[in-house]
């Protein structure tokens, strides 16, 4: 039981570190793009941001549930779930920033 907890803790730690790093990177790229490019993709309707936000949340939640469900898997087998969570976080960050800008 202790080994499973340790594997789960490592997997969740990796997922949250990767998601935080990707979210920060997406924020940095988006923030600097706002200063250099006028308009970016802010002309899209607000529904695009809402749908993208929901898709990003789906990726985050689904990856988190998969990590919990496969808690006895080694961290290297959880890496695709961590990447999925990172992509979801990046999508959420970018579209929240665009939603706030509108």
Q: Do residues 102 and 38 lie in contact, with contact meaning Cβ atoms separated by under 8 Å?
A: no
pLDDT at 1 over 80: no
Domain spans of the chain?
Answer: 2-101
Q: What is the pLDDT of residue 36?
A: 64
Tell me how far apart the alpha carbons of residues 33 and 37 are, in angstroms, rounded to a whole number: 6
Compute the half-sphere exposure of residue 46: CA atoms within 13 Å on the CB side of its CA: 4
What is the pLDDT at residue 76?
A: 87
Better pLDDT: 47 or 63:
63
pLDDT given at position 39: 54
pLDDT in tens, 5-58: 788 888 889 999 999 999 999 888 887 876 666 655 555 677 888 899 999 999
């Amino acid at each position: 039981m202790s080994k499973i907890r340790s594997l789960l803790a490592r997997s969740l730690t990796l997922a949250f570190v990767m998601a935080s790093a990707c979210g920060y990177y997406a924020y940095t790229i988006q923030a600097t793009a706002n200063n250099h490019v006028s308009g970016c993709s802010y002309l899209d309707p607000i529904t695009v941001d809402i749908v993208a936000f929901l898709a990003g949340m789906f990726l985050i939640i689904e990856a988190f549930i998969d990590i919990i469900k496969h808690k006895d898997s080694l961290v290297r087998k959880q890496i695709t779930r961590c990447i999925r969570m990172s992509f979801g976080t990046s999508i959420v960050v970018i579209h929240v920033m665009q939603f706030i800008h509108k």
